Amino acid sequence: MNPLLRGLYFVTPEAAPGRTELVAAALRGGARIVQYRDKSGDAERRLTEARVIAEHCRTAGALFLVNDDVELCLAVSADGVHLGEDDAGVADARARLGPGALIGASCYNDLQRAHAAADAGADYVAFGSVYPSPTKPNARRADFDLLRRAQRELDIPICAIGGITPENAAPVVAAGADMIAVIQGISEDPDPEAASRRLQSLFTEQ
């Protein structure tokens, strides 16, 4: 397994003001991976923000991934992309980005989909929502049994996402998540740096 794919994984909130400052705070708190997620059509703003966040990640020694957008990943020299079910396939992204890029795949609550993604060359898979998610209230749910099964059956790291906060993250890590992807548990916290530190400590204490 890739040892870099472990720990707190901060996903930027959609089109929120101050996203670059949020990323900086999460990185100061110990976040190891950052995903830039922005579905808007404002290409210029997305490019500018992604460049700033990429530099923050490089300075902190953290990984920087772009949600869905292979071209933006290339434009800002990101470490890789994260793909959902409606995005380009893992094999297509690999062909465009090359063997050194990191590619993650959302697998929701579907272990078969995770096996297929791994076989196609994904570097990690993500399951969720593990808790009710304020970001995606109608998201499919992935329980702890699924995380434990995935940990047993897959040879790549597992990320858990959905409703994770500093208060409820410990059982997710105990169930086998190599990474915990957090959005509002950091972005909506009065002290995002402290929230990040609490979340990352679940991995450093092991």
Question: Tens digits of per-residue pLDDT, 105-160?
Answer: 999 999 999 999 999 999 999 999 999 877 777 778 999 999 999 999 999 999 99
R_g (Cα) of the chain, nearest Å: 15
The pLDDT, as a whole number, for residue 169 is 98
Q: How far is CA 125 from CA 33, 154, 177, in A?
A: 14, 9, 10
Structural tokens at position 69: 């957008």
Interior CA angle at 59 toward 43 and 179, to 5°? 80
Decide if 39 is catalytic: no
What's the CA gap between 166 and 9, in Å, rounded?
A: 13
CA triple 190-186-20, angle to 5 deg: 95
Contact 53, 18 (CB under 8 A): no
CA 23, 27, 31, 33 dihedral sign is: positive
Mean pLDDT of 69-86: 94
Q: What is the pTM of this model?
A: 0.95
The string of DSSP letters for 9-29 reads EEEPPTT-TTHHHHHHHHHHT
Q: Quick check: 80 and 123 in contact, CB under 8 A?
A: yes
> To which CATH superfamily is domain 7-204 assigned?
Aldolase class I (3.20.20.70)
The set of residues, in sequence order, having a beta carbon less than 8 Å from that of 61 and lying 6+ positions away, is none
- Residue 140 designated active-site: no
Q: Where are the domains of the chain?
A: 7-204
**Token representation of residue 39:** 């579905």
d(CA 50, CA 138): 28
Q: Average pLDDT of 60-86? A: 95
pLDDT of residue 205: 65
pLDDT of residue 133: 78
Active-site residue 106, yes or no? Answer: yes
What's the whole-number mean pLDDT along residues 161-168? 97
The encoded tokens of residue 189 equal 């916290």
Nearest C-alpha neighbor of 81 from the set 40, 123, 51, 120: 123
For 9, phi and psi rounded to 5 degrees?
Answer: -120, 105
- Give CA separation, 29 vs 21, 26, 32, 60, 153, in Å: 12, 5, 9, 10, 32
Residues 17-66: tens digit of each pLDDT: 789 999 999 999 999 999 999 988 789 999 999 999 999 999 999 999 99
Predicted pLDDT at 14? 86
pLDDT of residue 183: 95
The distance of Cα 94 from the centroid of its chain, to the nearest Å, equals: 18
Predicted confidence at residue 113, as pLDDT, reads 95
Looking at residue 41, its pLDDT comes to: 78
Query: Which of the residues 6, 19, 32, 37 is marked catalytic?
Result: 37
Please identify which of the residues 28, 136, 141, 149 carries the catalytic annotation: 136
Residue of 46, 106, 196, 197 marked active site: 106
What stretch of H or E contains 201?
Answer: helix 192-204
pLDDT of 87 > 70? The answer is no
